[in-house]
Amino acid sequence: MDVMNMRPETNGFREAISLDGIWYCRADKDGLGHSNGWAKGWSVTDPDSHPIAVPGSWNEQLAEAGLMNFEGPMWYQRQVRIPERAAGADIMLHFGSADYRAEIFCNGQRVGKSGPLMLPFAVDIGAVARPGKIITLVVKVTARLPKHGPMQEVRSEDYVAEGRARDEYWPAVRFDFFPFGGLNRSVHLCLLPKLRIENVTIDTGWSGGKSSLGVSTETKGGSGKLRLLIDGERLDQPFEAGIQARFTPYVQPWSPDNPVLYDCSIELLGETGQVLDRIERRIGFRTLRVEGLQLLLNDQPIILKGFGKHEDTPVHGRGVNLPMLVKDFGLLDWIGANSVRTSHYPYDEAFLDMADERGILVISECFSVNLDFRKISDEDQNAHRSALEAQFARDRHHASVVAWSLSNEPGYLAEPEYGARSGPYWRDLFDYARQLDSSRPMTVANVQYAGNADPAFDYCDFLTINRYHGWYSEPGQLDRASSALTETLDDLAKAHEKPIFISEFGADAVAGMHATIDQMWTEEYQSDLIALYWQIIAEHQNCIGGHVWNFADFRTAQHGRRAVMNRKGVFTRERDPKRSAFTLKKLWGAGT
């Protein structure tokens, strides 16, 4: 757990060497990889050894090799030269994530494994890696989920056992997106000073015209004083490790209109004041909080306009795709959006860096979808806590991250156990999450099937609802959809004195499909439904905005109701606009 927020960085004191590029992989269809000795590596000229790009998912890259629906284990290997200058340093490997789980081997020796899903982890390879020598690095990755945790596994046979044979997806999933496997984020070899900074927590705020900055830092390998610099200027006196130091630097606030960032450096000082280590982060000062029925950003009311997204692009799958990342932020700007929910898992940090820079407000979501409360156990909750710890540790210094979503659509099966058992689960989880971070609002995205009386609402700072009136209910009937949505909002407003946020609404549209009547799957119907929802949101005083589901079409596992993809994108998977994109540009561009 202790290295979760170790971001790979290169400065005069630490070095991060990218291991991205072409690796080799081998599918372990019979589960014989260990007994075949693959942990030690294999000859890459073997016919079943494939080149594979890292970062990237194996599924679309290797579809023609029969691996589109392969869930692992997939063994990856590459050679890594440990530089001579690593002598005297701690030698670590850092993985942005390995989806969903991985074990790491160096020269045949097991050196570590992944932690909470879709988040970074690091392993110390100092016992095996020798400066100046080459090691064989092997990573065994599986796209199978663990049975317990915030994201429970489901297998083909479970659909029948769970009484929902009609829901069966292939590959089996408990969610509506493709279970892309692989080293989907960057891998680095990191050389770190033995006496160093670790576990840095940076919290910023802006309220009453004043900034606030809280910093706490631990050290590893010894102790020393710490010093903080903002844009190269030292703040106050050096402070001790292990305590929270507080500052009120003279800075401008960060906001979507003016996303001002500052370079924040923390330095570890030796006995004579010499610098022994440094970490650097870009930070911004802002506060998002709920007051009455409003959401306030830096004390001013704000309406959230934007999307639920996915990390999903052609061929890359869930792998980092930087050109598409740049394009997507350009499209968010073009359409007039100010916010995104990282549905349904923490995204790569490059996304948050760009959100910081471009002034996009992010609701960062834990990888937790359709939690089934018939099966809930302490083990699930403990893993849920660990996932939040790791997510908060990685993301909390990002100015763009303004709220946490602890889960998406729990109680999706409308199981009676949800009403009965989830209250204490949410009470304890929200308590724990607020102990970790009291500076941001927290919520859970409620599913229509769980109804308006969701036990999670009692603990949410604002109510978050996903609603598909006009699609999964009241199909093709916008009048009925409009009444049903209005009724939901009125019901919730009566039951809770809290703001309401519609985190999902939308309709599938196959690009190029048209009709003169209200016809599902057409571009016109999608566009009209979105415009209708936005009008209702704008008219409802408790509503603090909405996110259209989804920004772009995305691949799902196979199911009769999906034509390869979920087509609720306002853009296609290739990012061509559908009619609804122009509708939203008009609605949001007008400064609603």
Residues of this chain that interact with ligand BDP (CB under 6 A) are 175-176, 344, 408-409, 447, 466, 504, 549, 566, 568
Alpha helices in 154-236 (DSSP H): 156-161
Query: Is the Cβ of residue 44 or residue 557 nearer to ligand BDP in the bound state?
Result: 557
| Triad 431, 432, 438: Cα angle to 5° | 75
CA end-to-end distance (rounded Å), the chain: 43
Residue 61: both structure tokens together:
């890259």
Minimum CB separation from ligand BDP for residue 484, in Å? Answer: 16
What is the longest distance spanned by two Cα atoms in the chain? 78
Query: Is the Cβ of residue 401 or residue 447 nearer to ligand BDP in the bound state?
Result: 447
Find the residue with minimal CB distance to ligand BDP: 176
Query: Is the Cβ of residue 90 or residue 409 nearer to ligand BDP in the bound state?
Result: 409
Secondary structure of the chain: what % helix, strand, coil (to 5)?
A: 25, 30, 45
Query: Is the Cβ of residue 466 or residue 572 nearer to ligand BDP in the bound state?
Result: 466
Query: Is the Cβ of residue 42 or residue 468 nearer to ligand BDP in the bound state?
Result: 468
Calpha distance 526→580 (Å, rounded): 6
Q: Is 144 exposed, middle or buried (0-12, 13-18, 19+ CB in 10 A)?
A: middle
Minimum CB separation from ligand BDP for residue 228, in Å? Answer: 41
Query: Is the Cβ of residue 70 or residue 175 nearer to ligand BDP in the bound state?
Result: 175
Minimum CB separation from ligand BDP for residue 128, in Å? Answer: 41
| Triad 246, 437, 282: Cα angle to 5° | 60
Minimum CB separation from ligand BDP for residue 430, in Å? Answer: 20
Calpha distance 169→16 (Å, rounded): 40
Per the CB < 8 A criterion, the answer to whether 472 and 448 are in contact is: yes
How far is the CA of 167 from the CAs of 148, 270, 416, in angstroms? 21, 61, 19
Minimum CB separation from ligand BDP for residue 344, in Å? Answer: 6
Calpha distance 228→230 (Å, rounded): 7
504 is catalytic: yes
Calpha distance 56→318 (Å, rounded): 7
Minimum CB separation from ligand BDP for residue 54, in Å? Answer: 27
Calpha distance 186→204 (Å, rounded): 27
Query: Is the Cβ of residue 61 or residue 566 nearer to ligand BDP in the bound state?
Result: 566
Of 409, 415, 523, 524, catalytic? 409
Residue 145: both structure tokens together:
């989920």
Of 365, 504, 523, 524, catalytic? 504
Residue 115's contacts (CB-CB under 8 Å, 6 or more residues apart) are: 1, 4, 121, 386, 390
Minimum CB separation from ligand BDP for residue 150, in Å? Answer: 15
Catalytic residues: 409, 504
